[in-house]
Amino acid sequence: MKLILHIWRQKNPSAPGKMMRYPMDNLSHEMSVLEMLDVLNEQLIVKGERPVTFEHDCREGICGSCGFMINGVAHGPMPATTVCQLTLRHFKDGEEVYLEPWRAHAFPILKDLMVNRSALDRIIAAGGYISVPTGSAPDGNTIPVGKGDADRSMDAAACIGCGACVAACPNASAALFTGAKIAHLGLLPQGQPERNKRALKMVAQVTRELFGSCSNIGECEAVCPKEIRLEAIARMNRDFLAGSWTER
């Protein structure tokens, strides 16, 4: 299998970047996109050239480290799929493939396809901890949680913080990510004491990080590899409004 890669190359945050062309052949349809980049980097190192920088860790769609634009789509053409899980069988032989980093003011480019996503960590940190004294691990049945709330909380907790929602949004909004993190605890009994304050603090941090505002376009939901729904944003807005009234 042959592919023609066009990859964004940028040496450091202050250096100018540009697209570089890399023809690749003898590729297997079973390779993931990251494995293809591994092969490319081996070839570049042999030639004495600088390898392509990209993030990765578990390569199982769990950690959220990998992620960049593939032909203008966050994580590539397949829904509910991270870059590390995307195999080359989803591309045509001889196709030209464009790889670019996330494009958002809050995600400055560090090098090549790698961006600084620490803004998402600061949003989580702004939410703080729950104040429930847990002690030793309680029995699973001592705190009853409704099946619907438990399911919605688990769905929200599936967010891996990859940043695809931000990159896909025309406004570079972090609303889906923030909504998922707020809903994760806000739906459970343990998260109730700080529920309103948590929403206020995390939304305020989103503003400080200069993410854009949500205008309900829905691109975030379309590219989310964990298929988190827009209802997480609606729940965040409700908690924020409740907090604005009760915490004044």
Write out the DSSP string of 102-160. Answer: ---TTS-EEETTEE--HHHHHHHHHH--------SPPPTTSS---HHHHHHHHHHHT--
Where in the sequence is the domain holding 148, given as residue range(s)?
A: 117-134+142-246
Q: Which residue, among 26, 50, 52, has the nearest Cα to 38 in the 3D structure?
A: 52
In terms of domains, do 148 and 93 share one? no
In terms of domains, do 130 and 78 share one? no
Instruction: Give the tens place of pLDDT for each residue, 151-166.
Output: 999 999 999 999 999 9
Q: Which residue, among 107, 83, 116, 99, has the nearest Cα to 19 in the 3D structure?
A: 99
Strand-strand pairing, 109-111 and 73-74: unpaired
In terms of domains, do 159 and 82 share one? no
Burial class (CB in 10 A: 0-12, 13-18, 19+), 46: exposed
In terms of domains, do 43 and 130 share one? no
Share of the chain above pLDDT 90, in %: 89
Q: Tell me whether residue 224 is in a domain.
A: yes
Q: Name the pLDDT band for 140 (thresholds 50, 70, 90).
A: low
Q: Tell me whether residue 163 is in a domain.
A: yes
In terms of domains, do 147 and 224 share one? yes
Counting the structural domains of the chain, the total is 2
**pLDDT of 248:** 64
Q: Tell me whether residue 111 is in a domain.
A: no
CA 46 to chain centre: 33
**pLDDT of 34:** 98
Among the ranges given (3-12, 23-32, 191-200), the one the predictor scored with the smallest mean pLDDT: 191-200
- pTM comes to 0.93
Q: Can you tell me the distance from the alpha carbon of 27 to that of 88, in angstroms, rounded to the nearest whole number?
A: 8
**pLDDT of 142:** 76
Q: Are 52 and 7 in contact (CB under 8 A)?
A: yes
* 163, amino acid identity: G
What mean pLDDT is predicted for residues 45-53?
Answer: 98
CATH at 198: 1.10.1060.10
Q: Name the pLDDT band for 246 (thresholds 50, 70, 90).
A: confident
In terms of domains, do 233 and 122 share one? yes
Please state, rounded to an integer, the average pLDDT across all residues of the chain: 94
Q: Can you tell me the distance from the alpha carbon of 143 to that of 44, in angstroms, rounded to the nearest whole number?
A: 56
Does pLDDT of 230 surpass 90?
yes
**pLDDT of 130:** 81
DSSP state of 73: E
Among the ranges given (61-65, 91-95, 132-136), the one the predictor scored with the smallest mean pLDDT: 132-136
In terms of domains, do 89 and 149 share one? no
Q: Name the pLDDT band for 129 (thresholds 50, 70, 90).
A: confident
**pLDDT of 190:** 85
Supply φ then ψ for residue 115, to 5 degrees. Answer: -120, 165
Instruction: Give the tens place of pLDDT for each residue, 182-211.
Output: 999 999 988 898 999 999 999 999 999 999
Does pLDDT of 134 surpass 70?
no
